[in-house]
Amino acid sequence: MNKTGIKQGLRAMGLKKGDIVLLHSSLSSIGKVEGGAAAVIEAFLETLGKTGTLVVPVFGSLGILTDTVKRRLDAVVSDCPKGTVAAVGADARKICTDHWRADTVHGEGSPYLKIAGLGGYICLLGVDQDRNTTMHSVEAMLGLPYLNPVSDAVQTPQGTVRKTWQYYPGPHRDFIGLDKLLRARGKMKTGKIGSAVTRLIKSRDLIEILTEAGRRDPAFCLCNNPECADCAAQRAAIFRAVMSKEDFKLSASAALAGRYIPEIIENLQRSGIGYVELDFIQGKPAHLMPAEKLQLAVREFAGNNIFVSGLRLPGVPADIQKILQLAKGCGIERLVMPLFADAVNLVKQAVKEKIALSFCNCGVTGDYAAAIMKDLAEQKIRAGFTFSPAGFARCGEMPFLQTYRNGKFRKYMDQLDIEDGTFAGIQTAPAGGNGEIKELVSILRCAGFSGFMTLSAGNRLCGNVIKIAADFRKLLEEI
Ligand SMILES: [Zn+2]
């Protein structure tokens, strides 16, 4: 390959005099080039002419091509220590100036957005979308929740200034997976220069196509490999941001999340869940743990920003005082237990200790549960209701169309157990059985329900907390 051949290749791709090109490249991909890096850069500059501009990123480890541009006497280097570019040509100064003043390294006011605004191209010469810095522009402009601020010292005419830029990109993202989207929209030209596969797209088109994709799905840059801890953490950040806009609070059963505390914490964090229901820890009912141990567990959760939505009892306790004292000592403010007749006395004791009680339907019909809750309300005794759709389905009821509506449960409810099952009592994934979970979640959201939606232990037959949280996330997206 030589300069003339490269120029022919660039013109065949559609580049002409006056164009602006942001070049990401690998010299070695082209094959052997007569005149080396200098010949490649000259080929670009001669194709773009005096009125055109060549821009290259000069952060991270520099390739020989970028280094060749940066070292030119006529090169302008942007004045930002992050996402720095070097440019040669008519618009070099316009593109590079005041980069450090931008609020984000890659967003509005950065060279990347200026190139888009000026109608410039992005050229990937022998490299893939993983090297395409303008991807970060799209992420920054969308303000994606997994991006973090970054700080650095900047040399300015007024001296050294410490500056923070918002929405700085993090670890792994699946940019190469976005190539097919750009190809499908027909805006990207692909060709070959030497042996280098070369892609050319208008920066504006890339930003438009990917911004649209990002608005539909904020995880559009993330990979689906469950073993990729980076993308799992970034997905969790997106989910936390979604959850922070909901009125309800998402909790998960400790038993669903894992066996040991560190495992439970890790899985809840990976799922973006901020509340835990203490039912079983290490295979034992949490309320039978020694007080000091339970106290330590609660503290360890809190230290990791996971708070207890309730202590769940598998049955009605014989000695409620003992459990109320245990909860109080551990800073647990709420108990969940099966609903039973004559609950009045028990609730009165709990109220005295300032512990909230919530009764769950286990093997009882909607009419039976509604009668007990109504009775408590008439006696002005405050108790919550934990609605288990799987529980009502097992009784042959339609939990939304029939039970929820007829029993007027909304006014007592402080928890919806996200657990589904068939009329035959077979546990299924959320919204995969007769529990009418989707309808219940939707109507509660419409009513600004501020209680807990809890991914309950019943889901264990259908997967771990990460899988069930993903099911629930999908369910929310479908409403
Ligand atoms: Zn990944």
Are the C-beta atoms of residues 383 and 358 closer than 8 Å to each other? yes
Q: Check residues 342 and 133 and name the one with the higher pLDDT.
A: 133
| Span from the CA of 183 to the centroid of ligand 1 (angstroms) | 22
Q: With bands split at pLDDT 50, 70 and 90, how would you rate the model's confidence at 19?
A: very high
Whole-number pLDDT of residue 246: 94
Q: Is residue 213 within a helix (H) or strand (E), and if so which, with residue range? A: helix 203-216
The partner residues of 294 in beta bridges, in order of sequence, read none
Encoded amino acid at 459, one letter:
N
Whole-number pLDDT of residue 74: 95
| Span from the CA of 421 to the centroid of ligand 1 (angstroms) | 33
| Span from the CA of 223 to the centroid of ligand 1 (angstroms) | 4
| Span from the CA of 216 to the centroid of ligand 1 (angstroms) | 19
| Span from the CA of 362 to the centroid of ligand 1 (angstroms) | 41
Whole-number pLDDT of residue 60: 78
| Span from the CA of 231 to the centroid of ligand 1 (angstroms) | 4
| Span from the CA of 236 to the centroid of ligand 1 (angstroms) | 13
CA distance 388 to 412: 13
**Measured CA distances, 312 to 88, 315, 337 (Å):** 67, 9, 6
Average pLDDT over residues 174-196: 95
Q: What angle in degrees, to the nearest 10, is found between the helix axes of 320-330 and 344-352?
A: 30
Whole-number pLDDT of residue 25: 94
Q: With bands split at pLDDT 50, 70 and 90, how would you rate the model's confidence at 158?
A: confident
The partner residues of 141 in beta bridges, in order of sequence, read none
**Measured CA distances, 276 to 142, 186, 272, 452 (Å):** 31, 47, 12, 10
CA distance 342 to 384: 15
Average pLDDT over residues 386-400: 96
Average pLDDT over residues 180-208: 96
| Span from the CA of 171 to the centroid of ligand 1 (angstroms) | 8
| Span from the CA of 458 to the centroid of ligand 1 (angstroms) | 30
pLDDT tens digits along 340-388: 988 888 999 999 999 999 999 999 999 999 999 999 999 988 899 999 9
| Span from the CA of 259 to the centroid of ligand 1 (angstroms) | 26
Whole-number pLDDT of residue 157: 78
Average pLDDT over residues 202-221: 96
Whole-number pLDDT of residue 341: 86
Residue with token string 């647990």: 332
| Span from the CA of 83 to the centroid of ligand 1 (angstroms) | 22
pLDDT tens digits along 276-308: 999 999 999 999 999 999 999 999 999 999 999
Instruction: Extract the tokens encoding 23.
Output: 């070049």
| Span from the CA of 142 to the centroid of ligand 1 (angstroms) | 19
Q: Is the pLDDT score of 155 beyond 90?
A: no
Encoded amino acid at 27, one letter:
L
**How many Cβ atoms are within 10 Å of 402's Cβ, its own excluded?**
15
Encoded amino acid at 385, one letter:
F
CA distance 390 to 417: 8
Q: Is the pLDDT score of 62 beyond 90?
A: no
Instruction: Extract the tokens encoding 157.
Output: 């005419």
| Span from the CA of 176 to the centroid of ligand 1 (angstroms) | 11
Whole-number pLDDT of residue 61: 73
Q: Angle 413-418-420 (CA atoms, 0-180°, nearest 5)?
A: 120
Q: Is-above-0.75 flag for pTM?
A: yes
112: DSSP letter: H
| Span from the CA of 210 to the centroid of ligand 1 (angstroms) | 18
| Span from the CA of 234 to the centroid of ligand 1 (angstroms) | 9
Question: Coil, strand, or helix at residue 77?
Answer: strand
Q: Is residue 416 within a helix (H) or strand (E), and if so which, with residue range? A: strand 413-418
Alpha helices in 222-365 (DSSP H): 229-243, 254-257, 261-271, 291-303, 320-330, 344-352
| Span from the CA of 10 to the centroid of ligand 1 (angstroms) | 33
Q: Is the pLDDT score of 156 beyond 90?
A: no
| Span from the CA of 126 to the centroid of ligand 1 (angstroms) | 23
**How many Cβ atoms are within 10 Å of 31's Cβ, its own excluded?**
12
pLDDT tens digits along 437-460: 999 999 999 999 999 999 999 999
pLDDT tens digits along 258-276: 999 999 999 999 999 999 9
pLDDT tens digits along 168-181: 988 899 999 999 99
| Span from the CA of 173 to the centroid of ligand 1 (angstroms) | 5
Average pLDDT over residues 201-229: 94
Sequence-separated contacts (24+) of 282-285 with Cβ below 8 Å = 283/259, 285/313, 285/314
| Span from the CA of 451 to the centroid of ligand 1 (angstroms) | 33
| Span from the CA of 168 to the centroid of ligand 1 (angstroms) | 17
CA distance 204 to 97: 20
Residue extents of the structural domains in the chain: 3-216, 246-477
Domain 246-477 has CATH 3.20.20.150: yes
| Span from the CA of 238 to the centroid of ligand 1 (angstroms) | 14
C-alpha torsion angle, residues 274, 278, 279, 284 (rounded to 10): 120
